[in-house]
Structure formats: structure tokens, C-alpha cells
A and B are shown apart, each in its own frame.
Chain A
Amino acid sequence: MSEMSEQPNPQELNGEHPTVTKVKEATEAVWKKKNIIQEYAEIHKSITHDRLAWHGGGIYIKWVNDIDMVSKAITMVDKKSVWRKVVAGLNSGLGRVWAATATATILAPLDIAYNVVTWPVRKILPRNLVKRSFLVAELAARNIVLGAGASAAAIGFEGNIAQKTVKATAETVLAAPEVIGTMAKRRIDSVVNKIMHPKKVA
């Protein structure tokens, strides 16, 4: 993969709050400290922080490309009942923290696909949270891209329990900040519960 020149971080140019910058640096510090696959972390960091800087070479790049291809293919699959079994299978026998993580992993590739596909759109995405939510839903409705919050509906999960499980996890763990930002009452418990307590699939 050829290397592209890095774009300046638009958030830096737009006067990001220093606390937000500090927290972002803190999360990146963990990636650097730990033995996380460095190239993958760099790619993902670039994607999630509104930059696209691909690095060439390396077996890890191949694995990332491989899983990206698999991820894109799986998002096109439309087998509702089997998806429900997948969620159920991963939830059963695992602790609630692991279940939340496992459920999130199903939608993690959607995030990769979402971020890669929507990079041009996200560069100009309005910062207004309501407009961003609308745009995500609009794109999902057209099946152009599966936003994390809209992915559950777009894929068409059957059964309210499966849908709530996936949607709840998607809304808080994945890239759907607009949903977190608009929660009104009991925000603290709601945020934590949605991350940590996905509803079990029947």
C-alpha cells in the first residue's frame, strides 16, 4: 500500500478542547506502550482520528487488508436468523464483560468498513450532532455505508432482544458519538450500562 501524505488533523485546526486532545493522547499512549500490532494501531488511529496515513509493507498490513476484505464481505450478508445465532453463541458461557466485548467484535469490522468508505464524507461531516446522526442514518438507508448506530437496523436483526443487544453495544462502544451525546436522563448509568450490560439474547 503506498504511503499518502498525512493531512493536518482537522480537529487541531478547529480548536479542539484541550481535555479532548489530552484524552486522545492518553488512549494513543496505551497503543504505543503495549505490544499491540503497531502498524494496525497506526492505521486504526489514522482512521478514527480523521486522518488517513497508510504505511506500506509488513505482514500486519496483509492481515489488516485480509480482515478488511472479509469485513466488507460480511456486511453484505443478509441472514438475519443466523446473525442472531452468532450473537447468542458468543454471549452464552461468557461473563458479561466478555459478552459485551464479543458482541462489539461483530460490529467492529463494520466500523472499519464505515470509516474507510466514509472517509471523504467524514472529512466534511457537520459537527452538529443532529445533522451527523441524520447523515449516518441517511447513508445507511441507502446501503452506502453501515454506520455503527444504524448498522443494526440496516442489517435487519430479528428479535428485539438481539437488536437491543447489538444496538446498545454499537451505540456506545463503537463510533456513534452522536448517540452518546444526546442521551438525556440517567446519562451516567445509561452510558455505563449500555457498554457493560448488553441484554442477553433469548
Chain B
Amino acid sequence: MEEKLKEIVTRIEKSTLSEDDKAELYATISEGLQATVWPVLLKYMPKEELEFLSQDPKSRVTVESYAKLIEDTIKDGEALKEIEGLMNEVLGEVDKALAEEKV
């Protein structure tokens, strides 16, 4: 993923796009990468734990309980593997889009 990302950023930097458009592209790529995170996490999140916290967030949500929720979600590594796979796909699609735009 890192190599792919570096190649994409290099192409954008070398392009004739304006600085504003480059910034917009980086933001779009970041959003695209970031958007893969929560849907996958939600899929793997222990729903009973989530529901318990959401029923009384003021008193039940602490850093400890929140950290436990996240850790329980990612501890077996499956969620993170899926996220990484999706990030690679996003970068693949971005790569194609840039090529079509001759960037």
C-alpha cells in the first residue's frame, strides 16, 4: 500500500494541476482511505458491547470502555486485514482514475 500511495502522490506532485487541486486530490484520497475504516469496524464490532454503551453514553462511555470496544473489534486482526485490502483497492481505483485523466 505504501508503494502504491507513494507512486500516486508522486504523479500528482509532478502534474500540472494547481496547488489547490492537488490539495483537493490529497484530501479526496485521504477521505477515500478513511471511509474504508468505519464500515469495516462496524461489521466486526461486538454489537452487544456497542448497544450497551450507546444506551447510556454519558455514564458508560469512558476511555477504558471505548478502548475495549475498539480493541475487541480489531484484536484478531481480521478487521485490519480487511481495511488494508480495501485501502489497496481504493488506491487501485484512484490510480486508474488518474491514468484516465492523464495525470
Which A residues fall within an 8 A CB radius of B?
16-20, 22-27, 29-31, 33-34, 36-37, 40-41, 44-45, 48, 60, 63-67, 69-70, 72-74, 77, 79, 82-83, 85-86, 89-90, 94, 97-98, 101-102, 104-106, 108-109, 111-112, 127, 129, 172-178, 180-182, 187-189, 191-192, 195-196
How close is B65's CB to chain A, nearest CB, in angstroms? Answer: 9
CB contact between A180 and one of B23, B63, B66 (< 8 Å): that residue: B23
Asked if B13 contacts A188 (CB within 8 A), the reply is yes
Asked if B63 contacts A25 (CB within 8 A), the reply is no
Asked if A90 contacts B74 (CB within 8 A), the reply is yes
Known pairs A17-B17, A48-B35 / 6 extra A-B pairs, C-beta < 8 Å: A30-B90, A40-B39, A74-B61, A109-B38, A187-B9, A188-B10
CB contact between B13 and one of A34, A66, A104, A187 (< 8 Å): that residue: A187
**Lowest 4 A-B CB distances belong to which pairs?**
A181-B23, A177-B27, A27-B32, A73-B57
Asked if B54 contacts A66 (CB within 8 A), the reply is yes
Asked if B20 contacts A94 (CB within 8 A), the reply is no
Q: How far, in angstroms, from A37 to B82 measured CA to CA in the complex?
A: 13
Q: How far, in angstroms, from A153 to B99 measured CA to CA in the complex?
A: 38
Asked if B38 contacts A112 (CB within 8 A), the reply is yes
Of the A-B pairs whose beta carbons lie under 8 Å apart in the complex, a sample of 16, sorted by A's number, is: A19-B103, A20-B21, A24-B28, A34-B86, A36-B40, A40-B39, A70-B53, A70-B61, A79-B63, A97-B1, A105-B38, A108-B41, A172-B26, A176-B30, A178-B23, A188-B13
Asked if A188 contacts B9 (CB within 8 A), the reply is yes
Asked if B20 contacts A129 (CB within 8 A), the reply is yes
CB contact between A41 and one of B20, B23, B39, B60 (< 8 Å): that residue: B39
Q: How far, in angstroms, from A172 to B27 measured CA to CA in the complex?
A: 8
Q: How far, in angstroms, from A21 to B26 measured CA to CA in the complex?
A: 12
Asked if B54 contacts A65 (CB within 8 A), the reply is yes
Residue from B19, B61, B96 with most neighbouring chain A CB atoms (10 Å): B61
CB-CB under 8 A from B25, the residues of chain A are 19-20, 23
CB-CB under 8 A from B35, the residues of chain A are 27, 31, 41, 44-45, 48
Asked if B67 contacts A86 (CB within 8 A), the reply is yes
Asked if A72 contacts B38 (CB within 8 A), the reply is no
CB contact between B45 and one of A26, A63, A85, A101 (< 8 Å): that residue: A63
CB-CB under 8 A from A189, the residues of chain B are 6
